[in-house]
Structure 1
Amino acid sequence: MTQPPIPGVIRQDVFPPPPPVFLTGVPVFLGRAATGPRTPTRLTLWPQFEAAYGTAPGGFLADAVRGFFDNGGLLCHVVRLDESKPPAAALQAALDALDGVADEADLVCAPDIVTAVPWPTDGFLEPVLAQQRVLLRHCRERGDRFALLDGIPTTDTTKVMRQCAELTGADGSFGALYYPWLWAPGGDGLLRHLPPSGHVAGVYSAGDQRVGVQRAPANTEVEGVVDLHVRLAPSGVGELYGQGVNCLRALPGRGVRVWGARTLSDDPAWRDVSARRLVGTIGRWVERFMTGLVHEPNDVRLWVRIMRELTAYLDELFQRGALKGRTAAEAFFVKCDHETNPPEAVEAGVVVTQIGVAPTAPAEFVTVRVIHGASGVTVDAA
């Protein structure tokens, strides 16, 4: 039997607010457009770009943004480059304009870098490399962004391998190189050859939404693509991938797919895109959600709180399959105690926390053994 309402008492159901959404796969596009603001603009739909920048020819910016949304991209930022400045200076100015405005962006794309000078002249590659190094350096200095770089538009794969070799190094773990170009509708709907970074950024975003940053952005069909500028043979794909170039392949019955997930790092520990992005995402989470602990008393209670919150976050990543190991203890550790915070550190107002994680690695090769015997044929995938 329902209780009659109590006079003067009103029941009100209060639901706790949902936890803050921590987005990944959010690119910032830097490029040329006929019109539009030069300050960062936040977009969630392709028509917003059309309204702000139009689709008039002038660069690949519109094409990249449209390719991003066609491939499941959720959110991006756009900055129109100041073409009155030298290309590298314009790029650096656009990156500087992002500070404090587009902090949620964790990917960087600059599809117009390859249009800096006419191609395929002998002097084409050096200006491209100079600007792509600017992007890689920016991502390394921040530590939480990843650059999607376009291979030069050529049919000579040796030039692409040279481009890759020139970009490989200390900054290389913060970027990946994609080749060849696409034959696809541009921002104005007309078919032409386009740099792949915008479409690939959409693949990153869609994968992050479905699974998370731990998913390798590879073996995924690229939507809105008719064909490729160059159709690579399997041997060519293997040669390029061995050098660190992520290829796109047109597979019969499976469409055009991203076929590689390696960074430009020369350090095996940072070879996989998913490992680099996972560590960068953990860093972003620590910076964003631990800011509330600043100015708290630097003692054991603070250390325990830090360990509790970090352990809960990393355990969630482990449960989602982002970290490898049979148990959470094998997947990660968090240490914040008297050893990491000796008296001199406490007196200086510094809290030191050590975090160790074991990112999952993508299975690039699956070994299949076919055994013929008296009882028939057995297929064993290892």
Structure 2
Amino acid sequence: MAESTLHTRPLGGAGQLAVDSLALTDAHAVPGLYLEESALATLSINAGATAIPVFIGRFHELDGTLASSETCIAITSYVHFQRRFSAAMRATVTLDPTPRVSTDRALGAFAVRHYFDNGGGRCYVLPVPALDDGDALLALPSRIARCAEISLYCYTEQDGTEAVVYAALEPLLQETGGGLLIANSADGVTRPTTTAQRTAVYHPGVVTPYEVLPADDQVSLPPADDLPARTLADLRATEPLRYLELRRAVDEWFKVNYPVVALNASAAVAGVYCQIDRRKGVWAAPAGVLLNKVSGLHNPGSASVQMRLMANRINALKDFPEEGVRVWGARTMVDPLSSPWLNVAVSRLFDAAARDLRQALRFAVFLPNNETTWSAVRNALRSYLQRLWREGGLHGATSDEAFYVQVGAGVSMTAAQIDSGLLVVRVGMAPVRALEFIEIVFTEQLTSALASADPS
């Protein structure tokens, strides 16, 4: 079993309202139910949401300007996203002297849409307009950490800044229960340098059927003396001939530079994590799932690259004829021969349990560090793990085979730790692991062998 250690610091006693056995006194002369203050808290541990991603990248405000925020913005649906952000790519046309088109290549809106199209639920968006800004990158962990329910990290852009953004998220991945980075490998070889057990890498990207061509009101025109209009929509009403010239230039530019909308796999994969968690549980492997809104693979590389993805600790996306593209891997970046954290589901299960238990054990901060508190903690944790085991998240014929909870003097704590007010709880779980390989052995009796063995 893998083991997780949880620590809290009790600071003193505090009463909690609980139904308790009462000694009969003059105050209990009338039959009925009486409540009194008890030093023992009743504790119930609820399972929190397990797949809440944050999408880091470039996003546009509704007025077309690049969005910026020092906090993560909660999004409940794609309709909600469209009310808060622009869902299209923006462009600018300049006359120099012929029309010249440019765009900031923001892919955040398309990534969020792809996430919801693949079963995603509640998520967060963190707009960072200048991804080469060192201060903005350093601030990423603290901004994300303010939203405790975030457990998945996705970067939406494809502009060569992936490595520095992944590295900036490393402080989050080093925390117990710190979540999982869903990363992308552009070439099927390169991987992030982040904590291996909390990083899952995917290759290649995907081609989507989304429309990238901006509408007239999403194409900006710089201010000029002979061009008072601010967008193509304005120009269409005042100078129709010039509008046609610029519209044609925009269409041709996007046809050459953006013939399709190609996205990193991470957004769709985050959606798969979400739907698998809802249907089965966080312990189930998020793989084998057919992706929605995918028309093909983007830059899949050579056959040799595809064959070596597993050796490179990168999860594959595979295109099956007459079926479509499926997520065909659910591993972290760890060495498969030396770590128990190989499966994404195992890593996420322990992270989810650590977050739930850490949140629940805050009650103990106000209780004495004695056997009464230890018993309450032990019973609550066993109840939580029992439920997890019965739902199929833990392996074992009995609960004793599936998990253990250790708390107490000489069991999980020394006398010095108890005297210093440190509560140490050791939790072990036997996770269910995904079946990745099926071996079938065929045995066939050859008739020639039978004939040679016939003594007649």
Alignment match, 2:286: 217
1:96 paired to 2:142: yes
Alignment match, 1:108: 153
Q: Any idea what SS the aligned residue of 2:431 has?
A: coil
Residues in 2 aligned to 1:94 and 1:354: alpha-carbon distance in whole angstroms = 31
Q: Deviations over 1:158-203 (max 9, x none)?
A: xx31x12x63x7x111111111010003485894211111111000
Alignment match, 1:23: 49
Alignment match, 1:195: 264
Give the Å deviation of 1:20.
5.3
Contact conserved, 1:28 with 1:77, CA < 8 A, in 2?
yes
Matches within 5 A, 1:328-367: 328-339=399-410, 340-367=412-439
Q: Deviations over 1:236-268 (max 9, x none)?
A: 434111221111011123321001111112342
In structure 2, which of residues 206, 213, 221 is the aligned counterpart of residue 182 of structure 1? 206
TM-score, with structure 1 as normaliser: 0.81
1:248 paired to 2:317: yes
Q: Any idea what SS the aligned residue of 1:241 has?
A: coil
Give the Å deviation of 1:80.
0.4
Matches within 5 A, 1:36-55: 36=67, 38=69, 39-55=71-87
In structure 2, which of residues 176, 183, 201 is the aligned counterpart of residue 149 of structure 1? 183
Alignment match, 1:34: 60
Q: Any idea what SS the aligned residue of 2:395 has?
A: coil
Q: Deviations over 1:263-294 (max 9, x none)?
A: 11234211111111111011101111221222
Which amino acid is 2:283 matched to? Answer: Q
Give the Å deviation of 1:321.
1.6
Matches within 5 A, 1:1-382: 22-35=48-61, 36=67, 38=69, 39-57=71-89, 58-83=105-130, 86-100=132-146, 102-112=147-157, 114-116=158-160, 127-141=161-175, 143-152=177-186, 157=187, 160-161=188-189, 163-164=190-191, 167=193, 171-186=195-210, 191-231=260-300, 236-266=305-335, 267-339=338-410, 340-373=412-445
Give the Å deviation of 1:206.
0.5
Residues in 1 aligned to 2:144 and 2:171: alpha-carbon distance in whole angstroms = 15
Residues in 2 aligned to 1:67 and 1:204: alpha-carbon distance in whole angstroms = 13
Residues in 2 aligned to 1:226 and 1:188: alpha-carbon distance in whole angstroms = 15
Residues in 2 aligned to 1:175 and 1:70: alpha-carbon distance in whole angstroms = 23
Contact conserved, 2:382 with 2:405, CA < 8 A, in 1?
yes
Residues in 2 aligned to 1:88 and 1:48: alpha-carbon distance in whole angstroms = 31
Q: Deviations over 1:121-164 (max 9, x none)?
A: xxxxxx53232222244222353311001112xxxx4xx31x12
Greater relative CO, 1 or 2 (CA 8 Å, sep 6+): 2
Query: Aligned residues: percent identity?
Result: 28
Q: Any idea what SS the aligned residue of 1:370 has?
A: coil
Contact conserved, 1:73 with 1:206, CA < 8 A, in 2?
yes
Q: 1:341 to 1:20 in 2, by over 3 A?
A: closer
Which amino acid is 2:284 matched to? Answer: R
Residues in 1 aligned to 2:165 and 2:143: alpha-carbon distance in whole angstroms = 17
Computing the radius of gyration from Cα coordinates, the structure with the larger value is 2
Q: 1:89 to 1:240 in 2, by over 3 A?
A: farther
Q: Deviations over 1:71-100 (max 9, x none)?
A: 1111101110042x6345423323321233
Contact conserved, 1:231 with 1:250, CA < 8 A, in 2?
no
Give the Å deviation of 1:56.
3.3
Q: 1:19 to 1:253 in 2, by over 3 A?
A: farther
Q: Any idea what SS the aligned residue of 2:174 has?
A: helix
Q: 1:87 to 1:270 in 2, by over 3 A?
A: farther
Which amino acid is 2:107 matched to? Answer: F
TM-score, with structure 2 as normaliser: 0.69
Contact conserved, 1:62 with 1:186, CA < 8 A, in 2?
no
Q: Any idea what SS the aligned residue of 2:330 has?
A: coil
Residues in 1 aligned to 2:305 and 2:442: alpha-carbon distance in whole angstroms = 26
Task: Count how many residue pairs are aligned between Structure 1 and Structure 2.
Answer: 335
Q: 1:215 to 1:136 in 2, by over 3 A?
A: farther
Contact conserved, 1:136 with 1:174, CA < 8 A, in 2?
no
Give the Å deviation of 1:53.
1.6
Which amino acid is 2:149 matched to? Answer: E
Q: Any idea what SS the aligned residue of 1:362 has?
A: coil
Q: Any idea what SS the aligned residue of 1:353 has?
A: strand
Give the Å deviation of 1:46.
0.4
Residues in 1 aligned to 2:140 and 2:328: alpha-carbon distance in whole angstroms = 30
Q: 1:27 to 1:354 in 2, by over 3 A?
A: same
Q: CA RMSD in A?
A: 2.4
Residues in 1 aligned to 2:362 and 2:441: alpha-carbon distance in whole angstroms = 52
Residues in 2 aligned to 1:229 and 1:135: alpha-carbon distance in whole angstroms = 26
Contact conserved, 1:31 with 1:80, CA < 8 A, in 2?
yes
Q: Between 231-240 and 66-75, report the one with greater CA deviation.
A: 231-240
Q: Any idea what SS the aligned residue of 2:125 has?
A: strand
Q: Any idea what SS the aligned residue of 2:442 has?
A: strand
Give the Å deviation of 1:342.
2.7
Residues in 2 aligned to 1:50 and 1:20: alpha-carbon distance in whole angstroms = 32
